[in-house]
Amino acid sequence: QSGLTQPASVSGSPGQSITIPCTGTSSDVGTYNFVSWYQQHPGKAPKVIIYEVSQRPSGVSNRFSGSKSGNTASLTISGLQAEDEADYICCSYGSASTLVFGGGTKLTVL
Amino acid sequence: QVQLQESGPGLVKPSQTLSLTCSVSGDSISSGSHYWTWIRQPAGMGLEWIGRIYVSGSTNSSPSLRSRVTISLSTSKNQFSLELRSVTAADTALYYCARMTMSGGVPDYFDYWGLGILVTVSS
């Protein structure tokens, strides 16, 4: 099972919105609604910001939203803030009860 | 407050076995409400799922690592462990343990993580 595909980097200005795609296959993202997204600041452990494609854990800003279409899940961050600069990593449940991560996307807030 | 903490050697020789333990506080592994997992991250690279264990002892692991991985748990110590055999330099990484929620028995998302432990494979 190959990893999920994410762009290496994205950027945006404060106040703007950005979207990070996460492309899998019919064996993971395309079939299961167990896609989660993690925010990782340098030197820190990842933190969940979206689970089950579009659900936000308690305490996570509503500026973060998730969606899915076919084999591609997406994370959208609206009203970009400097503190959003971090790596964003997707994860999906897959066939044979395995889990697969994306390679991660580095967000730069200009 | 749930906390996880990895422990083990920071340096392992090639061909030997990497052994790590994750100590859990603030939750009981025996509760049966979560999966207990291992994840690693080579420097400057993405996350890689290694495997998970449930209180029943049932395990699952990444197909790419399955032949070298053993995950076990100790309910009396509230710990779970990772063994990775026949290591090479490619196994050098930051190793995390994490708690994973479940929905209808299906692994859902990682809600608590340890701080990670750096393991270097070198002679």
User: Strand, coil or helix: what is B88?
Assistant: coil
pLDDT reported for residue B48: 96
Rounded to the nearest 5°, which phi and psi values hold at A14?
A: -55, 135
CA pseudo-torsion sign B110, A58, A52, A75: negative
User: Residue B94's Cα: distance from chain center in Å?
Assistant: 11
Q: Residues 6 or more apart from A88 whose CB is under 8 A from it?
A: A6, A20, A37, A38, A39, A40, A49, A75, A104, A105, A107
Mind listing the pLDDT tens digit for each residue in A3-38? 999 999 999 999 999 999 999 999 999 999 999 999
Q: What one-letter code names the amino acid at A2?
A: S
CB B48 within 8 A of CB B39: yes
pLDDT at A1 over 70: no
User: What integer is the mean pLDDT of B27-56?
Assistant: 95
Strand B117-121, strand B93-103: pairing = antiparallel
CB A102 within 8 A of CB A21: no
The Cα of A3 is separated from the nearest Cα of chain B by a number of Å equal to: 9
Name every chain A residue with its beta carbon within 8 A of the beta carbon of B110: 36, 38, 46, 48, 91
Residues 86-105 of B with CB under 8 A from A: 96, 101, 103
User: What integer is the mean pLDDT of B2-18?
Assistant: 97
pLDDT band with cut points at 50, 70 and 90 for residue B90: very high
The rounded distance, in Å, linking the Cα atoms of B70 and A78 is: 42
A88 touches chain B (CB under 8 A): no
Mean pLDDT (chain A) is: 96
User: Minimal Cα distance from B113: which residue of A?
Assistant: A45
Would the CB atoms of A52 and B103 count as touching at under 8 Å? yes
CB B8 within 8 A of CB A65: no
pLDDT band with cut points at 50, 70 and 90 for residue A96: confident
